[in-house]
A and B are shown apart, each in its own frame.
Chain A
Amino acid sequence: MSEQTQQKMAIVLFSGTADKLQAAVTIISGAAAMGVSTHVFLTFWGLAAFRRDMAGVPAPMSPEYGELGVQMGKLMQTKGVPAWRDVLDMAIDVGEVHVHACAMTADLLELGKDDLDPVVEDLIGVGSFVEMTRDAQTFFI
């Protein structure tokens, strides 16, 4: 792998449940560690999880897994899995991670930049995000 090769990853974070947030930030941290520049687009529930007034409030598990999801949540606590928001901070600390908010969702939820977690760099439209990550490996979570 050449250092000169610009590598990018794009994550469209649509979900706001604890399990999916955990999966997203873990992939983001791997990318950050391996020198892959990562752009995260927060939309719908993903953006709702980054509301400033949600800071420290535990996100629910995905309902589609029923009791299994609840068990997984307990397991994550017992085994000391770090909080998803802390993993994101670790990723930002070791690599290049940019967090963008979907302007449309922000408008829908009547949220301005000041209502969001300070980690959010800007509010952008989907067109800008697609253009910014044209050459990226993209995940929808």
Chain B
Amino acid sequence: MATTINQEIDARGSFCPGPLMEMIRAIRESSVGQTVAVLSKDPGSRTDIPAWVAKARHEMVAIEDLDGYTRFVVTKAR
């Protein structure tokens, strides 16, 4: 079953650390169990978003490499 995305943020125009900050804000404003997707062109996001997700103990649902950008899908776990 595909995960329902509750909010998708296009942070492709945003430079480091913008996409990570967008992810943190969106997860903070979500309810537990909700899922957020962030689109990023920042290569740093590739390591930073998973590192933050692990540290903040949420769930990294998917990291999808698309056409020149990456889509990070995270579910708020707590």
Q: Do A and B come from one complex?
A: yes
Decide if B24 touches A94 in the complex (CB within 8 Å). yes
Judge whether A121 is part of the interface by a CB distance below 8 angstroms: no
| Contact in complex: B15, A94 (CB < 8 Å) | no
**Which residue of chain A has its CB nearest to the CB of B21?**
A90
11 A-B contact pairs sorted by A residue (CB < 8 Å): A26-B16, A29-B21, A35-B55, A35-B56, A81-B15, A82-B18, A90-B17, A90-B18, A93-B21, A94-B21, A94-B28
In the bound complex, residues from chain A placing their C-beta under 8 Å from that of B21 are: 29, 33, 90, 93-94
Interface residues of B (CB under 8 A from A): 13-18, 20-21, 24-25, 28, 48, 51-52, 55-56
Q: Which 9 A-B pairs have the closest CB atoms?
A: A29-B17, A90-B21, A94-B24, A81-B15, A33-B52, A33-B20, A34-B55, A82-B15, A94-B21
Q: Which residues of A come within 8 Å of B, CB atoms?
A: 1, 26, 29-30, 33-35, 79-82, 87, 90, 93-94
Alpha-carbon gap, A33 to B51, bound state (A): 10
Which of A1, A30, A33, A79 makes the CB contact (< 8 A) with B15? A79
